Structure 1
Amino acid sequence: MAHDNPGMVKARWTAGLLALLSIVLWLNHATLSTIQMPAPLPVHTVLETITIVIFTSVFIVCWNAFGGARKKSSVILAVAFLCTAILGFMHAISFQGMPGFPDAADMHKSLLFWLLSRSFIATTLLGLALAPEDSEVSPTQAYFVLIAGLIATAGWMMMVFALPHLLPLTYIQGEGQTSFKIACEAGLIAINLFTAYQLNKPGKAISAGSAGPGKQGERLQIERAPLFLAATLLAISEGYFAIYADGNDVFVAIGHVFQLLAAIAIYRGMVSVNIHTPYASLAETSQNLARSAAELSMERERLSRMIDTAIDGIITINESQSIILVNPAAAATFGYEVDDLMGASLDLVLPERHRKVHGKHVQQFGETGETRRKMGGNFEDFYVTGVKANGDEFPIEASISSQIENGKRFYTVIFRDITERKVAKEKMALYHDELTQLSAALQSIREEERKHIARELHDDLGQLLAALRMDLSLLQRDSVLTGKTQQTINSMDQLLLTSITTLRRIATDLRPRALDEGGLYFALQTLQKDFSQRHGIACDLQANEEQLALDDTRSTAIFRIVQESLTNVVRHADATEVQISFERTPDTLSFSITDNGKGIEADEMRKSRSFGLVGMRERVKAMHGEFLVDSQPGEGTELKINLPLS
């Protein structure tokens, strides 16, 4: 349950004491009713004038406090209190026969103005207490409501002055207030008491007329406690206004006093709080500024320490390329002291051949509107080069950022000396080239050895086995052989035939004769047919002899790539179809090997022992080509190779 604030507690005590005082006065009604005010008109005029001034102040605050940004509640408040002030003024000038008004009708007119003005106040406070949903109001809508309220007030004034006899009678000369007037007062008392009850409930402060969402200090703040007190006092004042007999009765003065106290409470709840808010906000802003200044000083000190202790060099220059900030690491990198670089031109640490170009680059960077970018991040192009105090040049990896302060642009460069990294990179590149050359040489030697072994197997051992089989076949024709011997010779013949077949297959695997005798196209055709027959996997070759008319080195490399790919399909893919496609242009030869197998996991491709892929990649690299693997688990694998022909 929400707790009441101290202001509401004070308001309840004040309302209770005043209500107790009112009860005491009512208990002495018989005595007080005999007291007549010696000068009722001045007393009434003074009290009513103060009330009118207060209500006018409320109108000014509600209407103009925050410019043209208003909400429905602030517009209704402003118009209601303005119309109340106007009607209160008309009530005052028509009370007890002001000059220019007939005596017989003045009190009736005055009370008509009175009832309407009090009704405005009562219903307005009730609306605030109920706190309906609010909404934005445009300037046009606000002025429309204001003009409509003024026109309605003017129409009521004309009707009261011109046709008072058509309106319900509120006062009879010599008899006092009518039952209609007293009934209206009772209704106003009930409304004000209900309003006080609603405002007495615990709740948040009421606000209206927001100039923008979330902007503190730009809302019309309204306090509940003073409005609770005002509603209670208005109910009490209406009670006194319901029991007086004539305009000289002391109850008129007492009612006006309670009404004035209610107006002061309204002023406190709606005007003074908003007058005080900007000053409170200003004081809070001043405190926040003081705290911000202290925090900013600490941040600057912290930033200064970070810059001074940074390992990387940091330099800030202005638009004229003059150094305005440099840290010790930057000065040490260039072989200077910090004081030597402060105020100097950036050209001091740049090679002479780069100064003009570097200045244009920095200027273009500022004109692009970018805030930061890398400089010289490519190891192959060290265009950002620094020069030390002794004249030695060295490569720099740097990033540059741009910021604008007070209309001036500044550039900050964070850099590091990458001499050692560049040397290491060059060594790595050299080692890599040597390894590539070694790999190519080994592949060439391997192919030569394979070719030599295949030729020896085919030409020598193959011929010996063939001759041996011919001799064996002659021996089979000898009629003196027994049946058992004949059976043994037939078995030997089968073994020789199997040996010759195996020898041919091994020789073909080592170096297919079709590659040397018919070229790459016929070698791939032989490989395709043998692969399909041996493993039962459909293999389709899309190529022609003209496309594959290549030199021996390229032909051998391409054949080995296709051969290794088909071997991988058998070992790992679980595929049922393989397609080999070639496309040739005057400058490039592109081919792909695609299967419908289970694909290759990313981790499998990154394994260091995936020698099949590594070997294919090295063969392609030796020919300065591109090797791509496109594989998704469950969707097969596609190898794409692009080889330059020039």
Structure 2
Amino acid sequence: MSSSGKHHPNLNRARLLAVLLIFFSLAGWMNQAFLSQFIVSNPLPVHTLLETVTIIIFTSVFIVCWNAFGSTRKISSVILAVAFLCTAILGFAHAISFMGMPGFDTAIDMHKSFSAWLASRAIVAATLLGLAFDPEDADISQSQSYAILLSALTGTALWAGLIFFFPHMIPLTYVEHLGQTWFKVACEVGLIGINLLSAYLFYQHASKLETSNSAEHLHINRLPLFLASLLLAVSEVYFCIYTETNDVNIVLGHLMQLMAAIAIYRSMVAVNIHTPYAQLAESSKQLELSAEELRIERERLSRMIDTAIDGIITVNEEQKIILINPAAAGIFGYEVGQLEGSSLDRLIPMRHRHAHGSHVKKFGETGVTRRKMGTHYEDFYVTGCRADGGEFPIEASIAHQLENGKRFYTVIFRDITDRKIAKEKMAAYHEELSQLSGVLQSIREEERKHIARELHDDLGQLLAALRMDLSLLQRDNQLTARNESTIQSMDQLILSAITTLRRIATDLRPRALDEGGLYFALQTLQKEFSQRHQIHCELIADEEQLILDDAQSTAIFRIVQESLTNVARHAQAETVHIEFSETETHLKFTICDDGRGIEEEDIRKTRSFGLVGMRERVKAMHGTFTVHSNTGEGTCLSIKLPRLHADHEKRMQTGEFHTMLIQQDLKH
């Protein structure tokens, strides 16, 4: 708030009042004989009335300062409110324990009363001195303000408890037949000094503000506080020099104290009441000045909405359309005038209307101001209904805001029919390719099995018979040494051919897989790999885990075989670890090596046919395939396959599975 001169009492008037106050006070102090003629015959009601009015004023200071700025308060208002509340509480304790009150008639009770009185005046003096140093103001949260209030009330309660229950721990302030002690007088002299210092500082600040018209740190008028500090200093003098409870000095001190309270109220409470309204008036004035700018901004926004290619719709809490742009109306097949004021249900398919209303209501209650919806064409509840009854998918973002207590929802959307069709086609093509890959894998395995069987059963048998004939020929005694050497060479060539034939047949289709099952085939593969490449290979598996159908056994064997081939070619590993585990629903296995690892870009390469083949095999079995690799730390393949149901296993065992895949491929 600006601190112009019109916000402060006139500086000359304040100086005149201060001079008159000091003049008459000095006259009274120097003529105690004259004042002693005025005796208050019944002082208790007078003291109680004046103290009560002061307490009420201080309580009013608390109430208004505490509530002046709502939930976000100024720290100055909080400190003032808390300080004067504590002052009012201690003032009440002083009033009820004063000499003459029922139940309080002893010297120790008077000591309690004076102790509470000194504490209350000390709080007022300290608060005014703090304001006199003109600290900068700042906002404070509601939780922080309540923490300050609770701490102050706790301290006040502890001090009051000390006064009333342990008065002997406090230096005496009153002695029977002697009156107030030097300790009390010394305290009052100290309060006089503090109040005079505060009055001087307030006067200096008020003089600068009056002449320079500069901004204030705090929402207070300095001149009333200058007078209040001066009045409090004068009242302390009167309280120092009185001798009896019926002395008129006490009444004069209370009157000065009451006038100080009124000045404090005028300075702080009046300003705290009017400041928020003054700020509101200033804001209103600024709004009036910017009305033309607001009109221009609205016109610009209206043009932007009308020319946007995306649809924009705003509805109220009753789902009535209050704004719709031409693009939105065109998407739904209407004119703008046909939809304004109508229900949003008109644009939503019948089966989705109830769910859509509950979704919007829930969205408004969550407190989230924006949400994206319909980003996948599978979100069928975000579906529009055209004027001709046709439905189409929507991608939209929704936002809500409160205006004058009413909630409004704004949706920006677009028609994603073409995107949905493209995605559906891509998904269909991907499914067909996956099925074709599965069929090709099955056909290749069948061809491999057939070729391996032909090589082993036919060509293998012929080579074995040929070797037997050579063995018989070697027994003929008529052979010369030259012929015998030739025959031995032929025998070695046939033996090499048989060994090569067996290796080729095993690579095409290991007989161990058909004769001993997957577990035996993996053991054979492990031993051959270790012997051929001098790499330690460890297999951890349970034979019962690996009793599977032919298709799964073949796929798992090929995955392990391809993995070991990659390790031998690229990994530069010393150890390979293959481990199988199972649950009721899944079979899991990992293949890990301690080689040089795979770069991330190499994993994503589409030309990494080994990894692609393994992924396709796993996908055909509806499993998951994961590659974990760090450069220099090795590679680990993790495969998780579902257990097949009994009817599926039976179908695969009888060969119906491959037939089904081929039939599906032919249909597509």
- One fold, TM greater than 0.5? yes
Give the C-alpha shift of residue 331 in structure 1. 0.9
SS in 1 for 2:639: strand
Quick one: which of 282, 285, 290 aligns to 1:287? Answer: 282
Deviations 1:159-191 (A, max 9, x none): x9xxx9x62389xxxxxxxxx99x998985565
Q: 1:323 to 1:409 in 2, by over 3 A?
A: same
In the alignment, does 2:544 pair up with 1:550? no
Q: 1:41 to 1:76 in 2, by over 3 A?
A: farther
Residue 278 of structure 1 and its aligned partner are, at CA, apart by 0.7
SS of equivalent residue, structure 1 residue 425 = helix
Report the alpha carbon displacement of residue 609 of structure 1 after superposing the two structures with TM.
3.5
Give the match for residue 272 of structure 1: 267
Q: Report deviation, 1:421.
A: 0.1
Q: Are the structure 2 counterparts of residues 40 and 579 from structure 1 closer, same or farther at C-alpha, using a change threshold of 3 Å? A: closer
Larger radius of gyration: 1
Map 1:285-434 onto structure 2 (within 5 A): 285-288=280-283, 291=286, 307-308=305-306, 310-318=308-316, 321-350=319-348, 354-355=349-350, 357-365=351-359, 368=362, 369-370=365-366, 376-380=374-378, 382-398=380-396, 412-434=410-432
Retained in 1: the 8 A contact 2:129–2:197?
A: no
Match of 1:78 in 2: 88
Percent of pairs identical after alignment? 41
Contact residue 61 and residue 81 of structure 2 kept, 8 A: no
Contact 1:321/1:345 (<8 A) preserved: yes
- What is the match of residue 590 of structure 1? 587
Q: Matches of 1:310 and 1:501 in 2, distance apart?
A: 76
Check the 8 A contact 1:312/1:329 in 2, yes or no: yes
- What's the CA shift for 1:329? 2.3
TM-score (norm 1): 0.63
1:191 and 1:409 map into 2 onto residues whose CA distance is 57
For 2:84, the aligned partner's letter is S
Secondary structure at the residue paired with 1:65?
A: helix
3-state secondary structure, aligned to 1:617: helix
Aligned counterparts of 2:301 and 2:450: Cα–Cα separation in 1? 73
Paired amino acid for 1:334: F
Shift of 1:339: 1.3
In structure 2, C-alpha distance between the alignment counterparts of 1:590 and 1:472, rounded to whole Å: 51
For 2:123 and 2:522, how far apart are their aligned partners in 1?
98
Where 1:503 maps in the other structure, the secondary structure is helix
Residue of structure 2 in register with 1:622 after alignment: 620
Residues 219 and 610 of structure 1: CA distance in aligned 2, closer, same or farther (over 3 Å): farther
Q: In the TM superposition, what is the alpha-carbon distance from 1:342 to its structure 2 partner?
A: 0.6
1:196 corresponding residue in structure 2: 196
What are the residue-to-residue correspondences of 1:434-453 with 2, within 5 Å?
A: 434-451=432-449, 453=451
Report the alpha carbon displacement of residue 334 of structure 1 after superposing the two structures with TM: 1.2
For residues 121 and 580 of structure 1, the distance between their equivalents in structure 2, rounded to whole angstroms, comes to: 81
- Tell me the equivalent position of 1:638: 638
TM-score normalised by the chain length of structure 2: 0.61
C-alpha distance in 1 between matches for 2:90 and 2:586: 89
Q: Deviations over 1:75-94 (max 9, x none)?
A: 45336777999999x9xxxx
Distance 1:488 1:410, change over 3 A: same
SS in 1 for 2:312: strand
Q: Does 1:168 align with 2:178?
A: yes
In 2, distance between residues paired with 1:187 and 1:622?
A: 94
CA contact (8 A) 2:576 2:592 kept: yes
Q: Distance in 1 between matches of 2:420 and 2:371?
A: 21
With over 3 angstroms needed to count, the CA separation of the structure-2 counterparts of 1:558 and 1:337, relative to structure 1, is same
Give the corresponding residue for 1:502. Answer: 500
Q: Which stretch shifts more, 436-445 or 395-404?
A: 395-404
CA distance in 2: counterparts of 1:377 and 1:506, whole angstroms: 52
Is the 1:589–1:642 Cα contact (8 Å) retained in structure 2? Answer: yes
User: 5+ unaligned residues in a row in structure 2: which ranges?
Assistant: 67-79, 101-113, 132-147, 168-173, 206-216, 649-668
2 CA distance for matches of 1:642 and 1:461?
A: 39
Aligned residues: 553
Superposition RMSD in Å: 6.2
CA contact under 8 A between 1:193 and 1:235: conserved in structure 2?
no
Name the CA shift for 1:450/1:123 in 2 (closer, same or farther; >3 Å): closer
Contact 1:562–1:593 (CA under 8 A) maintained in structure 2? no
Query: Which stretch has the larger CA shift, 330-339 or 497-506?
Result: 497-506
Residues 345-369 of structure 1: CA deviation (Å, up to 9, x unaligned): 334334xxx31x2222134335654
Q: Whole-Å Cα distance in 1 between the matches of residues 462 and 495 of structure 2? A: 12
Structure 2 CA distance for aligned equivalents of residues 398 and 555 of structure 1? 48
Checking the alignment, whether the CA contact within 8 Å between 2:588 and 2:641 is kept in structure 1 is: yes
Q: 2:59 aligns with which of 58, 63, 76?
A: 63
Q: Which amino acid in 2 is paired with 1:73?
A: A
Q: Cα 1:58–1:279, aligned 2, differ >3 Å: closer, same or farther? A: farther
Change (3 A) 1:477 1:407: farther
8 Å CA contact 1:384, 1:395 repeated in 2: yes
* Contact 1:58–1:270 (CA under 8 A) maintained in structure 2: no
Decide whether aligned partners of structure 1 residues 471 and 318 sit closer, same or farther in structure 2, where only a CA change above 3 A counts.
same
Matched residue, 2:536: 537
Check 1:128–1:272 CA distance in 2 against 1; reply closer, same or farther (3 A cut): closer
Cα deviation, residue 338, structure 1: 1.4
What is the Cα deviation at residue 265 of structure 1?
Answer: 5.9
Contact 1:453-1:507 at 8 Å conserved across structures: yes
The CA deviation string for residues 528-551 of structure 1, in whole angstroms up to 9 with x for no partner, is 443344345344363558964635
Rounded Cα–Cα distance in structure 1 between residues aligned with 2:438 and 2:263: 96
Shift of 1:333: 0.9
Q: Please list every run of 5 or more consecutive structure 1 residues that lacks an aligned counterpart in the other structure.
A: 91-114, 153-159, 171-179, 206-215
